[in-house]
């Protein structure tokens, strides 16, 4: 079920095999299932596109934001014909798969037989909270992958070290799970399966649900030489090969998310165009390199004024408040930085995602377009963005 990724097969041509005539996602759903009418869906710019991005959830942070933002935890989908790929699995995001039209047509089931791979940018809780849900409800709900074609889950490996204590000077706490305090994607998956073995075995024996260990295969993304926690993120000479099939080629780069190492950005290349996901990061030269000339750049964004206002009220000394602000801003990209990132990358469209805080009005986020000449989209849950040219 779990294995470490060290190399990929030789590169194959994209979209050259059978199934190229599969229709794009649309109002009727990926495999014909009608989206639930209960969830309002933004107007789609993806009609007629075979490759598209679907913003399943757009909120950042492990916070249930006030004010009814309508944003689930961060999760994005890339759809190429009838093949589905997910990036991150934030809290409650998988509830949006049905209204997004991303489940198959099975009535009364969670049909994810068309899901080919999942990519985790990093292992913070707001990016993996729904991973147990995918394992549990995907298998028991009717289908996760296919026999002989498991869902491949790619993400960070064991970083091999604990973060340093912040702020400096406070006592060093005892780590959680000291025998393995920084498990990667492979070890996390193995532990989740063990933790929920009662449910998996009950459904396997009692209802003939698929064996999760045959339907999910986890991989730790191998790091380039010289990349290690505790220092500056190295500038990569080339992207990291992660995954390839007949629809997509996925590569990654290291991005700078403070002490959360490793953290990745991902690029999807298809015959229709390219999509890049920043993951959580401050403005990153590696991300600019990865996103060079892409059709769509889906990038996180944080509001600096909100960070400063939120921390100002904390009952701590002023120098500590300043440290907290620098700590937050140093691990994320602010709304006055992200436009320059997209411009430097030569992206055609910038899609804002992973909003912190989740409840600001769209007009405030549109300021992020300053300095960027391409198209700007303020992301919303269930929004679709077409990639490349429309097809008749």
Over residues 58-76, the pLDDT tens digits come to 999 998 887 778 899 999 9
Q: What is the pLDDT of residue 146?
A: 92
Closest-CA residue to 55 (of 31, 74, 35) = 74
CA distance 104 to 145: 12
Q: What is the pLDDT of residue 308?
A: 94
Residue 43 lies in a domain: no
Residue 22 lies in a domain: no
Q: What is the pLDDT of residue 170?
A: 84
Residue 331 lies in a domain: yes
Q: What is the pLDDT of residue 9?
A: 34
For 15, list phi and psi in degrees, rounded to 5.
Answer: 60, 35
Closest-CA residue to 292 (of 276, 278, 279) = 276
Residue 4 lies in a domain: no
Domain that holds residue 129: 51-170+182-387
Q: What is the pLDDT of residue 37?
A: 37
The domain tally of the chain equals 1
Q: What is the pLDDT of residue 313?
A: 87
Q: What is the pLDDT of residue 153?
A: 98
Q: What is the pLDDT of residue 8?
A: 37
Side-chain-side CA neighbours of 253 within 13 Å: the count stands at 26
Question: Per residue in 262-299, pLDDT tens?
Answer: 999 999 999 999 999 999 999 999 999 999 999 999 99
Question: Per residue in 221-248, pLDDT tens?
Answer: 999 888 888 888 999 999 999 999 999 9
Contact at 8 Å (CB) between 91 and 130? Answer: yes
Contact at 8 Å (CB) between 101 and 111? Answer: no
* Rounded percentage of the chain residues whose pLDDT exceeds 70: 89
Residue 195 lies in a domain: yes
CATH code, domain carrying 215? 3.60.15.10
Q: What is the pLDDT of residue 2?
A: 52
Q: What is the pLDDT of residue 4?
A: 45
Find the helix packing angle between 197-206 and 131-140, rounded to 10°: 10
Q: Report the length, in residues, of the chain.
A: 392
Q: Which residues of the chain have pLDDT under 50?
A: 4-29, 31-39
Q: 10 Å Cβ neighbour count for 164?
A: 10
Residue 260 lies in a domain: yes
Q: What is the pLDDT of residue 104?
A: 86
Closest-CA residue to 98 (of 107, 85, 89, 88) = 107
Q: What is the pLDDT of residue 333?
A: 97
Residue 29 lies in a domain: no
Q: What is the pLDDT of residue 7?
A: 36
Residue 5 lies in a domain: no
List Cβ neighbours of 72 (8 Å cut-off, separation of 6 or more).
56, 57, 58, 59, 90, 91, 92, 93, 95, 96, 381
């Amino acid at each position: 079920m779990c294995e470490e990724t060290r190399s990929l097969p030789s590169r194959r041509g994209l979209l050259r095999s059978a199934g190229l005539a599969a229709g794009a996602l649309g109002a009727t759903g990926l495999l014909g299932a009608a989206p639930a009418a209960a969830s309002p869906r933004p107007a789609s710019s993806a009609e007629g596109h075979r490759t598209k991005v679907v913003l399943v959830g757009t909120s950042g942070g492990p916070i249930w934001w006030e004010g009814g933002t309508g944003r689930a935890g961060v999760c994005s989908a890339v759809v190429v014909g009838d093949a589905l790929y997910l990036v991150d699995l934030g809290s409650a995001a998988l509830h949006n798969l049905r209204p997004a039209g991303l489940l198959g047509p099975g009535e009364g089931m969670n049909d994810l037989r068309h899901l080919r791979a999942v990519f985790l940018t990093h292992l913070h809780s707001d990016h993996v909270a729904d991973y147990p849900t995918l394992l549990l409800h995907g298998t028991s709900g009717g289908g996760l992958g296919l026999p002989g074609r498991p869902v491949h889950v790619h993400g960070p490996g064991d970083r091999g070290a604990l973060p340093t204590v912040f702020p400096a000077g406070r006592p060093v706490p005892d780590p959680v799970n000291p025998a393995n305090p920084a498990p990667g994607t492979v070890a996390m998956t193995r532990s989740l399966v063990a933790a929920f073995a009662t449910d998996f075995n009950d459904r396997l024996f009692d209802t003939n649900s698929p064996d999760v260990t045959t339907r999910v295969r986890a991989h730790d993304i191998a790091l380039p030489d010289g990349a290690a926690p505790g220092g500056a993120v190295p500038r990569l000479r080339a992207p990291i090969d992660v995954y390839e099939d007949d629809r997509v080629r996925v590569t990654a780069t290291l991005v700078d998310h403070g002490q959360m190492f490793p953290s990745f950005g991902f690029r999807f290349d298809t015959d229709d165009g390219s999509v890049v996901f920043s993951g959580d990061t401050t403005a990153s030269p590696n991300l600019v390199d990865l996103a060079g000339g892409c059709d769509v750049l889906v990038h996180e964004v944080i509001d600096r004024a909100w960070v400063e206002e939120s921390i100002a009220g904390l009952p701590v000394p002023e120098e500590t408040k300043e440290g907290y602000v620098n700590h937050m801003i140093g691990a994320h990209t602010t709304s006055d930085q992200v436009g320059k990132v997209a411009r430097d990358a030569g992206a055609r469209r910038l899609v804002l995602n992973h909003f912190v805080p989740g409840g600001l009005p769209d007009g405030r986020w549109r300021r992020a377009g300053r300095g960027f000449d391409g198209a700007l989209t303020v992301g919303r849950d269930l929004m679709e963005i077409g990639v490349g040219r429309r097809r008749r």
